[in-house]
Amino acid sequence: MSGLVYKDYSKKLINNAAMPSSMIPFTKKYCPVVLADVKGQDAAVKTIHAFAANFKKQKKKALLLYGPSGTGKTCAAHAMAHSYGLEIIEVNASDFRTKEQILQRVGSALQQQSLFSKGKVILIDEIDGLAGNKDRGGLPTIVQLIDSTVFPILLTVQNPWDFKLNNLKRRCEMVEFLPLDTESLASLLASICKKENITYEADVLKGLVRRSGGDARAATTDLQTLTELSNEITQKSLEELQERAKEESMPSALLKIFKTTDPLIAIHAFDNVKEDIDEQLLWIDQNLPEEYEKNSDLAKAYDALSRADVFKRRIRRWQYWRFLVYVNALMTAGIAVSKDEKYKKFVQYKPTGRLLKIWWANQKNLKKKAIAAKIAEKIHCSAKEVIRDIEYFKVIFKKNKQMAQSITEYLELDAEEVAWLRK
């Protein structure tokens, strides 16, 4: 979902779904039906319009819509179909993963005429859901279907820079969807409130938007959740929503461990947090030295934490999940009883910076790895060797435009990959 102003097609949805208007999720009720309703993604909409209007003349027969969750990729695909009077066939790549399943669902759709003698568009959603051994043949099959299609194909993905998607990207025109800005998303929520007769305050809607991080789907769902009973959204209701999230957060869980010596309280600290064991260990490792001041307390706590890590590795090696009980007990109760008494000082618990550094490094290297994979495929060497010498290619792209153009055509580099090499 994306946009500022969404037309209300609730009556049509009610007829199709045979359900009361109040039961229809806002994410469906106010999803844009035509491309003109998709606001906040002007560049993407322009590209989609051009692709649909001139499909028979297009060299590439597929669009790869990429961007964060909740930015409007899937809705834009449906809006394109409705705008141009096309029948849409939607497939989620997570549900149809193998070569046989894809051929049966997508291949047959490409071979058959539309039920109503209209044109047709194929939407393959969440293409990054194809991964692992059980999906062998899935991506190559989609590539083959794109090469032979007579109908437009749209694919959605969050991270298009995975090297496994290189062959697919060569066949697609890439279309970026950006997170919606605060003003655009707040305007969308305000328009929904007016249509639903929901009382609201502008500042409260902006607070809800900031909480969603530019995800229109999440913001719209939160709006419906908060107003379902009272039909109004207030600062108090927003604070209650934030408080509920806070009660299940890692800082709240660490309080139960660091600020008690009772093992029965500490052992349930991680029962309702979303972070996995690895993240829990990193949170404790980051904040333990800030909380425990005595060397003896710190030594005993790290001994418990190290033993938890030993059992975690045994689980990984032997898949004996009964050890998970010991991991949790050592990480929580073991650390809680390591101190003689609880410390009265205030500590603001923070997430480890290690994961963020790793994430940034990976994001920075994604394009480099994608380019290296393309070069390695052409010159028959390993991608690691290419990465080691990729600075030579960057020099070529900066100093020799003619050679850079030849390399671009030979490797079938897209605009963003070329821009990276020119930096």
pLDDT digits (tens, 9 = 90+) for 204-261: 888 888 777 678 888 888 888 888 778 888 888 777 666 555 444 788 788 889 988 8
Average pLDDT rounded to a whole number, residues 163-183: 85
Residue 24: is its pLDDT beyond 80? no
* Phi and psi at residue 123, to the nearest 5°: -110, 120
Q: What's the rounded Cα separation, in Å, for the pair 292 and 261?
A: 13
Question: For 386-401, what is the HEC assignment?
Answer: HHHCHHHHHHHHHHCH
pLDDT digits (tens, 9 = 90+) for 134-154: 445 678 888 888 888 888 999
| Lateral strand order in the sheet of 172-176 | 86-92, 119-125, 153-157, 62-66, 172-176
Which pLDDT does position 161 carry in this prediction? 79
Residue 219's alpha-carbon distances to 183, 228, 268, in angstroms, are 13, 14, 31
Tokens 């379902």 -> residue: 228
135: its two tokens: 């999906």
Q: What's the rounded Cα separation, in Å, for the pair 197 and 176?
A: 34
Residue 333: is its pLDDT beyond 90? yes
Which pLDDT does position 307 carry in this prediction? 94
pLDDT band (50, 70, 90) for residue 108: low
Tokens 């008690």 -> residue: 260
Q: What's the rounded Cα separation, in Å, for the pair 150 and 121?
A: 10
Residue 49: is its pLDDT beyond 70? yes
Q: DSSP letter string over 237-274?
A: HHHHHHHHHHHTSHHHHHHHHHT---HHHHTTTTTT--
Which pLDDT does position 48 carry in this prediction? 94
pLDDT band (50, 70, 90) for residue 13: very low
Average pLDDT rounded to a whole number, residues 282-311: 92
Q: What's the rounded Cα separation, in Å, for the pair 330 and 307?
A: 7
Which pLDDT does position 21 carry in this prediction? 53
Residue 106: is its pLDDT beyond 80? no
pLDDT band (50, 70, 90) for residue 156: very high
Residue 4: is its pLDDT beyond 50? no
Average pLDDT rounded to a whole number, residues 195-199: 88
Name the more confident of 116 and 66: 66
pLDDT band (50, 70, 90) for residue 128: confident
Name the more confident of 386 and 164: 386
Which pLDDT does position 173 carry in this prediction? 92
pLDDT digits (tens, 9 = 90+) for 70-90: 888 989 999 999 999 888 888
Q: Which residues pair with 123 in a beta bridge?
A: 90, 154
Which pLDDT does position 39 carry in this prediction? 77
pLDDT band (50, 70, 90) for residue 181: confident
Q: Position 154: which residue type? A: L
